Amino acid sequence: MNEFRCVLDAKALVAECPRWHPAEKCLYWVDIYEPSLNRLDPGTGDNKKWPMPERIGCFAFRRNGGIIAGMQSGIFLVDFADKVTTRCVFPFEPENSGTRFNDGRCDRSGRFWAGTVVETMDKRVSALYRFDSSGACTKLVDKLICSNGLAFTEDGRTLYHSDSRQDYVWSWDVDPVTADISNQRVFLAMDIQEGRPDGAVVDSEGGYWICHVGGWHVARYTPDGRISRVIGIPVQRPTACCLGGENFQTLFVTSATYPLSASERDKQPLAGGIFAIEVGVRGFAEPFFGREGPQ
């Protein structure tokens, strides 16, 4: 049986948001607290790092180069070809000063969806937002603690979304024209003894892969919420996953060393690493942000 292999012993504080770039055949990822954006070539093991000016929770590739990112103080357009430059396109003014952007990605029409987290994990002051290339930003879901697990089906008509501190994963219907969401229902009610819901991705068969942070494993659920596969991972805190590689059949998983104690890190020396496993089911390319033309 295939097992996860460590493709980068990064020892990241909190590695998150793995995204496969199909043209470059490389995996991009962030370390939230370092903070940095990284580009890993799995074939060579080379990892290029760009320091970020503040905590970065999530990002998506832009059609015309660079990324759009959910960061500490807002949503930014980031370019890094020569040097890192950032431009804020949505300044974030949270109810709580300890709130920042966390998990996010683009939908099939190039809109950027990103949720926030309150770092103290004790107040329902976080939310899920949708940012359009026109510059409009819409709050879609509120009263969250830690927005997470955001993923779309390949046709873009179903959204999955979780709160890592309420331990639910919900599903929503997405209007293909307006991107409005409706018909919220509970997709998964997770047992915290098995780990809390963290980053996720959907495959081409509609399977929902999610990291059980604190639970030492990644699981795949069928569209009707039945568990179909559980894969153990040699670290306690897997944080997020994506499908990439040849034919998008490699599941890449990021992980964290924070907030493990020294003794816990000694027992899992690969904590904070990037892992990969061939899963035998195809994913699909992540949409890029924005419409065609200058952004």
Active site members:
198
Task: Indicate the length of the chain as a whole number.
Answer: 295
DSSP letter at 175 equals -
Grouping H, G, I as helix, E, B as strand and the rest as coil, residue 95 is coil
**Alpha carbon distance 228, 209 (integer Å):** 10
What is the Cα–Cα distance from 60 to 67, expressed in whole angstroms? 5
Sign, CA torsion 284/247/62/199:
positive
Identify whether the C-beta of residue 198 lies closer than 8 Å to the C-beta of residue 218: no
Which phi-psi region, left, alpha or beta, contains residue 16 (left: φ > 0; alpha: ψ -120 to 50)? beta
Residue whose C-alpha is closest to residue 221's, from 213, 212, 229: 229
